């Protein structure tokens, strides 16, 4: 693929602004959440949304799929959900010769955007069925591999306070999400506007701004955004500083963190930062891009020790300390 030209940068920036504007015609507030979700989608990543019930997480994902003209499916995760309920299964059907044969019936994973609602309510067996889909973009049923559509994203939600009857996601699966986005409670004015928009007699339909082929096109463009050595060094140092045994680790990381981000976390930092730079109409990643995406990329990759959990250490505050601690190294 050829290098990005200035016209392509301008077109992408304008198109993404139209996408965000159209989504905001229905979704009130949550501008940061919308922005970060789009970062994850155009970085070919899966995103975990965490927030209280009723904050519009499901509706937001649905509206994004409408504006981007992507095939959408929603799976409500429950303890009795089986792997075949999401991947699909082989069923016996009569054929034209009068005999019978197995025919594969696709499950809800065969969509562009899959909303895994309350993902931590399903058993580990069903959660693990997502691993292949999220990592390889394929599912295997009865020894036969089936390729998922392109683009493909899992946007999962979970409730941070209602933990009874849940199965916490294992570290390997948490790491499959490029970002963990915290959905915050709306302000007073936003609540009033939500009431005005959603309880009236008419809800205006949203316009389709892009389609699946455009999404894939922008994903490829983002890979060609440049990153200088000093910015790459900053991302590497930040990733390594999340480990308590690394020389750049701050005191609170050494005291409260059991282990930090792996290589996939660093890859996610760079991929998301490239998309942010592309959205801003720039050819290259800046240290500011890395800083802006660091919290959502790293917060689910910091695993606290017993003392950290007992002290209810805030991971976002730890990440802020880390960003400040390697400020000097970034200028070198």
213 & 254 share domain: no
**Which domain CATH number covers 186?**
3.40.50.300
According to DSSP, the β-strands at 88-94 and 100-106 are antiparallel
pLDDT of residue 239: 92
Question: How far apart, in whole angstroms, are the C-alpha atoms of residue 175 and residue 169?
Answer: 10
My answer on whether 67 and 210 are in the same domain is yes
pLDDT of residue 83: 84
Helix (DSSP H) and strand (DSSP E) numbers for the chain: 15, 13
Q: Which residues have CB under 8 Å from 225's CB, separation 6+?
A: 4, 274, 275, 277, 278, 282, 283, 284, 285
- Confidence at residue 136, expressed as pLDDT on a 0 to 100 scale: 82
What are the distances in angstroms from CA 260 to CA 240, 265, 287? Answer: 8, 9, 21
Same domain, 106 and 141: yes
Q: Which residues of 256-283 are buried (b: 16+ CB within 10 A; e: fewer)?
A: bbeebbeeebbbbbbbbbbbbbbbeebe
Q: pLDDT band at residue 200, thresholds of 50, 70 and 90?
A: low
Count of Cβ atoms closer than 10 Å to residue 188 Cβ: 7
184 and 247 both lie in a single domain: no
Residues 282 and 234 in one domain: yes
Number of separate domains in the chain: 2
The pLDDT assigned to 51 comes to: 83
Higher pLDDT, 15 or 160: 15
Q: By residue range, what is the domain housing residue 257?
A: 226-332
> Does residue 230 share a domain with residue 175?
no
Q: Is 2 helix (H, G, I), strand (E, B) or coil?
A: coil
Q: How confident is the model at residue 178 (pLDDT cuts 50, 70, 90)?
A: very high
pLDDT of residue 235: 93
Q: Kindly state the percentage of the chain with pLDDT values over 90.
A: 32
Alpha-carbon gap, residue 45 to 139, rounded angstroms: 17
Residues 319 and 214 in one domain: no
pLDDT band at 296 (very low <50, low <70, confident <90, very high): very high
pLDDT confidence of residue 42: 93
CA atoms 209, 214, 219, 222: torsion sign: negative
Q: How confident is the model at residue 1 (pLDDT cuts 50, 70, 90)?
A: very low
Position 43 pLDDT exceeds 80: yes
Backbone angles phi, psi at 331, to 5 degrees: -85, -10
Looking at the DSSP bridge assignments, the partners of residue 307 are none
pLDDT value of residue 237: 92
Residues 287 and 220 in one domain: no
Positive or negative torsion for Cα 35, 222, 128, 154: positive
Residue 328: pLDDT band (50, 70, 90) is very low
Average pLDDT, the chain: 85
231 shares its domain with 112: no
Q: What share of the chain is helix, strand, coil (3-state, %, to 5)?
A: 45, 15, 35
Cβ pair 62, 72 in contact under 8 A:
yes
212 and 248 both lie in a single domain: no
The pair of structure tokens assigned to 192 is 């009033």
Give pLDDT, residue 236: 92
Choice among 58-72, 126-140, 230-244, 263-277 with the minimum mean pLDDT: 126-140
Q: What is the pLDDT of residues 240-271, one digit of tens each?
A: 999 998 887 889 989 998 988 889 999 999 99
Which has the minimum average pLDDT: 1-10, 144-153, 300-309, 317-326? Answer: 1-10
Q: Say if residue 86's pLDDT is above 90.
A: no
Average pLDDT estimate for 200-208:
75
Q: Is the pLDDT of residue 119 over 50?
A: yes
Highest mean pLDDT among 54-58, 129-133, 226-230: 226-230
Inform me whether the pLDDT recorded for 285 exceeds 90.
Answer: yes
- What DSSP designation does 149 have? P
323 and 181 in a common domain: no
| Domain CATH code at residue 253 | 1.10.8.80
How much of the chain exceeds pLDDT 70, in percent? 94
Residues 243 and 213 in one domain: no
pLDDT tens, 303-325? 888 998 888 889 999 999 999 88
């Amino acid at each position: 693929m050829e290098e990005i030209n200035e016209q392509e940068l301008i077109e992408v920036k304008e198109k993404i602004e139209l996408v965000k504007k159209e989504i905001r015609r229905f979704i009130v507030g949550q501008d940061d959440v919308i922005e970060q979700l789009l970062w994850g989608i155009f970085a070919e990543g899966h995103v975990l949304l965490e927030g209280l019930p009723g904050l519009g997480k499901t509706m937001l994902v649905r509206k994004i799929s409408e504006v981007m003209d992507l095939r959408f499916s929603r799976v409500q995760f429950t303890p009795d959900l089986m792997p075949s309920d999401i991947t699909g299964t082989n069923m016996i059907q009569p054929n034209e010769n009068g005999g019978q044969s197995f025919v594969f019936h696709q499950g809800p994973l065969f969509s562009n955007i899959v909303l895994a609602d309350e993902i931590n309510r399903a058993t580990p067996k069903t959660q693990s069925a997502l691993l292949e889909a999220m990592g390889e973009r394929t599912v295997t049923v009865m020894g036969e591999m089936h390729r998922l559509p392109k683009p493909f994203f899992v946007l999962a939600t979970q409730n941070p306070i209602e933990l009874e009857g849940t199965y916490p996601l294992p570290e390997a699966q948490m790491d499959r999400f490029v970002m963990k986005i915290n959905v915050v409670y709306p302000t007073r004015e936003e609540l009033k506007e939500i009431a005005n928009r959603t309880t009236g007699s008419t809800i205006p339909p949203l316009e389709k701004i892009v389609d699946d082929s455009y999404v894939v096109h922008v994903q490829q463009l983002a890979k060609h955004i440049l990153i200088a050595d000093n910015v790459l060094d900053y991302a590497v140092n930040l990733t390594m500083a999340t480990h308590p045994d690394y020389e750049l680790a701050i005191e609170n990381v050494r005291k409260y963190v059991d282990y930090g981000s792996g290589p996939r976390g660093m890859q996610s930092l760079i991929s998301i930062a490239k998309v942010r730079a592309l959205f801003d109409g720039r050819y290259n990643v800046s240290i500011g891009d890395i800083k802006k995406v660091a919290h959502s990329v790293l917060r689910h990759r910091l695993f606290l020790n017993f003392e950290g959990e007992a002290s209810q250490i805030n991971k976002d505050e730890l990440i802020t300390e880390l960003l400040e601690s390697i400020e000097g190294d970034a200028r070198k």
